[in-house]
Amino acid sequence: MPFFARGELDGAESVERCAAAFRALCPLAATRGVTLLYEGTLPADEVLRLAALVDSRAFGCYFDLANAVVDGLDTATEIRALRGLVRRVHLKDTHARTGDCRPGLGRVDFAETARALAEIDYDGWLVLETPAAPLELVGRDLAFARSVFPTLEPPLAWPRLGAFS
């Protein structure tokens, strides 16, 4: 669940209002095997506070590498603080604004990020959230991801369905 722009959490009152909404939704999500993930601009200590207020295993964090760097945060430090709350990761990079360059060509410290994810035993998806590109550039992004995260599964024969396959 994205919390950006007008939906950004910008103070204690908005965090508490958000927590109340997640608290109401998480029990139903849990019965359906669904996890509701916060994605936004809060630093780890505020996400941890939000998680404590929600108090549900059906709550987690969708961690975006570039967003953290744009907000002046260190990805590895944030990941280590969030630990098991990190349930999905957006793999992207940044120069000046989030997602304005290919992975590995900006300011995200991917090597330290990979170490931090290994330390917290993260084994979920790494989702490329990158600028639209020809197949060759997408292949380059995948090759980069596999070089930084060598424990990724070997290449699979992905189905080619729709515009985003």
**Helices 44-54 and 12-31: angle between axes, nearest 10 degrees:** 50
- Residue 154 confidence (pLDDT): 61
CB-based contacts of 137, cutoff 8 Å, min separation 6: 102
Q: Record the pTM.
A: 0.90
Top pLDDT among 130 and 21 is at 21
Token pair, residue 88, equals 């999905």
Give the residue from 77, 75, 105 showing the smallest Cα distance to 90: 75
Task: Using CB atoms within 10 Å of the CB of residue 75, give its burial: 0 to 12 exposed, 13 to 18 middle, 19+ buried.
Answer: buried
- Residue 16 confidence (pLDDT): 97
Token pair, residue 45, equals 């200590």
- Residue 132 confidence (pLDDT): 83
Q: Quick: pLDDT tens for 52-71.
A: 999 999 999 999 999 999 99
CB atoms within 10 A of CB 36: 19
Q: How many CA atoms lie within 13 A of 90 on its CB side?
A: 23
CA distances from 164 to 57, 124, 128, 137, 155 (A): 31, 20, 11, 14, 17
Q: Where does residue 134 fall: left (phi above 0), alpha (psi -120 to 50 degrees), or beta otherwise?
A: beta
Helix H or strand E segment including 138 = helix 135-148
Q: Which position has the token pair 């290919």?
A: 102
Q: Quick: pLDDT tens for 106-163.
A: 999 999 999 999 999 999 999 999 888 899 999 999 999 999 998 766 655 655 555 5
- Place domain 2-148 in its CATH homologous superfamily: Divalent-metal-dependent TIM barrel enzymes (3.20.20.150)
Compute, in degrees rounded to 10, the torsion defined by CA atoms 39, 32, 126, 61.
30
- Residue 143 confidence (pLDDT): 92
Residue 2 above 80 pLDDT? yes
- Residue 150 confidence (pLDDT): 85
Residue 17 above 60 pLDDT? yes
